[in-house]
Amino acid sequence: MNISRDHEYAHDTDTLFALFTDADEIEAKQQALGARNIRIEECATNADGVAVRFVRELPADVPGLLSKFLQPWNTVAQSEQWTGYTDDTYEAELDIDIANVPVTVKGTLQLEPVDGGCVNHVRMSVDCSLPFVGKTLAEFIAKDCKRLIANEYAYISEQLDSA
């Protein structure tokens, strides 16, 4: 299942990039999104750009059919490798691991400058190869990803508007 969202901001890519790669901002955003037990494991410049890795517990309103795979709180690790380009574009490769859940969640974020600000192009895929319930599990995870993506956009927009 693929997810595609384009979020427009009235701020430049450098401003957005700073929010996505600052440990304090990441932790505050995760708290605002309802996460608990947040651990920033890496947020540092490397040869390729900036590496970000954090782990948190996220709540899930799990339907009975999927309770074998998901708990009311699930440990989720997220890795991002950010790269900047000379045209003020930034891109991140995302890898999201939900502990003990047989799904693959991968994606990209691309911060692209536009007149009056920038656009964050969010692209994600959620896959599960389990027979029978795999499609249902992937759809449930994708639906929750869409909710979190929308809430993150609202949070970031509010933070930028209040700055």
Q: Which domains can be identified in the chain, with CATH numbers?
A: 2-59+68-162 (3.30.530.20)
Which string of DSSP letters, residue by residue, matches 66-108?
Answer: GTTT--SEEEEEEEEEEEE-TTS-EEEEEEEEETT---EEEEE
Kindly state the average pLDDT of the residues 83-100: 96
Q: What is the pLDDT of residue 132?
A: 87
Phi then psi for residue 154, to 5 deg, are -60, -45
Q: Is the pTM of this model over 0.75?
A: yes
The answer to whether 63 and 72 are in contact (CB under 8 A) is: no
Average pLDDT of span 37-58: 96
The model's pLDDT over 3-45, given as tens digits with 9 standing for 90+, comes to 999 999 999 999 999 999 999 999 999 999 999 999 999 999 9
Q: What is the pLDDT of residue 163?
A: 73
